[in-house]
Amino acid sequence: MEGLAIRASRPSIICSLPGLDVGSQRLPLSDGFLRLPTSSYAADKPKLVAKSASLHPISAVNVSAQASLTADFPALSETNVKEERINGDKNKPENIVWHESSICRCDRQQLLQQKGCVIWITGLSGSGKSTVACALSKALFERGKLTYTLDGDNVRHGLNRDLTFKAEDRTENIRRIGEVAKLFADVGVICIASLISPYRRDRDECRSLLPEGDFVEVFMDVPLSVCESRDPKGLYKLARAGKIKGFTGIDDPYEAPLNCEVVLKHTGDDDSCSPRQMAEHIIFYLQNKGYLEG
């Protein structure tokens, strides 16, 4: 049958459509052909139909099991994805414009009778961050205040499940949590972020996302020896055995805050170091700054 024939050198999908004749010849796996009958196309689009039935090669994407998508689509490569994360707003299209809401932050805070902020609890693994975060959330709930806790482990079950514990992924982990926490604060919710967040630069980046005073950094000042003796998840034991690499406090540094709003120091006194008492210290700070009022 006379018509246009198209040849693909490395097809990944072969399909048969009504009205298209691929001929009776069995084609090798490395070649693919598509023949368009002149009865369907020549009358309407003569310029698109070849004058002969010869085969013309076209390029095709190889997505075989041995091939990589990123080889054919460089935009999807890991390097480009990381550059996109790092560059941030530099790569944002110019036609993206912020859409203002008719309900502002002050309206939501008036409704909730509280001011939105981020309580960022940082410290070594085993320092008690999650425990204090839970105690704080409960104590504020009992006072009629709305909170939400972003726990470092919990967030890695969903939003950040694609991230590892390499330095660049830890930075991205913190960035994402900081952006989510910012949204909660804008709603008027007291957001409690509880995660190691070992690097000052990453914590400072999150602080810069919020208005002055709305980022409350809480440092769990607990010695490494105490955290390691607790070792609730058995992670220090694994790190000491070399089964976990890049573990904060063992073979990766923890950079303690220099100018945080609240320091919860371990003194060895069970009463002053109880989770509830530590939570009350944070609440005292919030009360003095007016965050528990509309």
Residues carrying an active site annotation: 197
Residue 83 lies in a domain: no
CA dihedral 110, 115, 116, 118 (to 10 degrees): -170
> How many domains are there within the chain?
1
Residue 211 lies in a domain: yes
CATH number at residue 157: 3.40.50.300
The 10s digit of each residue's pLDDT in 36-85 is 444 444 444 444 444 444 444 444 444 444 444 444 444 444 545 455 55
Residue 65 lies in a domain: no
The 10s digit of each residue's pLDDT in 208-260 is 999 999 999 999 999 999 999 999 999 999 999 999 998 999 999 999 999 99
Residue 59 lies in a domain: no
Residue 7 lies in a domain: no
Residue 35 lies in a domain: no
Tell me, what's the pLDDT at 270? 66
Range of the domain at 266: 107-289
